[in-house]
């Protein structure tokens, strides 16, 4: 599915989020706080737009995804990003069986990806494996608005406005029907925090963006016991 929508993926994100996605990406990068020289894995990186936000701080980033179509578009796009592009490398790989050694990264991030992985809990455990003790997890995902009337309006946007806009702007609008359905089925903030904890992460907390349209969960890999 993602191979087929790769070319217009970022354009559709801008249209359907009314530009909010750019603000979310900046906020996620601030929360992740990646420092120069750190090794960051951006999993389910797609076209690498999420990865660029982390690389901008000077971190060395690996953009990993199993859609080679998304990675190809990403490689072409990211190469135009000047010096930052030099800090991003692209790797094909499955979130459920990552092609990296244990403890390889200071931080592992996944933006709008965990919802799409078949087996979120197993992916969270794989992310733990490749993070060094004391290293960080950052999950950015669509979530739940706490104010019920606003949530109702948002759900209406997801089920009627979003698919209608996608029918006009996207080459494969059925993918965007999947988007609405997968957001509706995805757990809320507290439930996702529980899933992250159950996979072995500690110090789990989250911050809502745009009233909870998006939530950013952060956690740490526990230090090894002596
Ligand atoms: C909505 S895109 C997110 C892309 C990017 N992180 C962003 O913020 O725009 C979701 C991505 O998850 C990837 N994905 C889904 N399941 C995966 C898996 N098991 N392993 C690796 N990537 C996966 C898809 O190929 C797709 O590129």
* 6 pLDDT higher than 90: no
Tell me the per-residue pLDDT of 41-85, one tens digit each, with 9 for 90 and over: 999 999 999 999 999 999 999 999 999 999 999 999 988 888 888
Q: Cβ distance 47 to 23 under 8 Å?
A: no
* 170 pLDDT higher than 90: no
* 155 pLDDT higher than 80: yes
Give distance in angstroms: CA of 183 to centre of ligand 1.
Answer: 14
| Spatial CA neighbour of 90 closest among 78, 104, 106 | 78
Please identify which residue in the block is written with the tokens 């996620």: 28
Give distance in angstroms: CA of 92 to centre of ligand 1.
Answer: 11
Cβ(183) – ligand 1 distance below 6 Å: no
Mean pLDDT of the chain, nearest integer: 93
Amino acid 226: pLDDT: 61
Q: Whose CA is nearest to atom 25 of ligand 1?
A: 67
Beta bridge pairs of residue 209: 214
Amino acid 196: pLDDT: 98
Task: Report the C-alpha gap between 39 and 191 in whole angstroms.
Answer: 29
Give distance in angstroms: CA of 141 to centre of ligand 1.
Answer: 12
Q: Where do the domains of the chain lie, and which CATH numbers do they carry? A: 2-145+187-220 (3.40.50.150)
Q: Whose CA is nearest to atom 14 of ligand 1?
A: 44
Could you tell me the pTM of the whole model?
0.95
């Amino acid at each position: 599915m993602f191979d087929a929508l790769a070319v217009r993926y970022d354009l559709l994100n801008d249209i359907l989020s009314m530009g909010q996605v750019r603000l979310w990406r900046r906020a996620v990068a601030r929360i992740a706080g990646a420092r120069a020289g750190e090794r960051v894995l951006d999993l389910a990186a797609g076209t690498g737009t999420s990865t660029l936000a982390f690389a901008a701080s000077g971190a060395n980033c690996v953009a990993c995804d199993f859609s080679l179509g998304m990675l190809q578009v990403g490689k072409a796009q990211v190469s135009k990003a000047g010096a930052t592009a030099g800090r991003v490398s692209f790797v094909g790989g499955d979130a459920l069986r990552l092609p990296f050694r244990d403890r390889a990264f200071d931080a592992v991030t996944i933006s709008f990806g965990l919802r799409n992985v078949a087996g979120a809990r197993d992916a969270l455990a794989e992310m733990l494996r490749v993070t060094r003790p004391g290293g960080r997890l950052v999950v950015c995902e669509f979530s739940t608005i706490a104010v019920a009337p606003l949530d109702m309006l948002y759900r209406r946007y997801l089920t009627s406005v979003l698919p209608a806009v996608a029918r006009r702007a996207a080459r494969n609008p059925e993918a965007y029907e999947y988007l609405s359905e997968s957001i509706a089925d995805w757990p809320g903030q507290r439930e996702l925090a529980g899933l992250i904890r159950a996979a072995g992460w500690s110090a789990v907390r989250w911050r809502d963006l745009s009233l909870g349209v998006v939530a950013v969960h952060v956690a740490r890999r526990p230090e090894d016991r002596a």
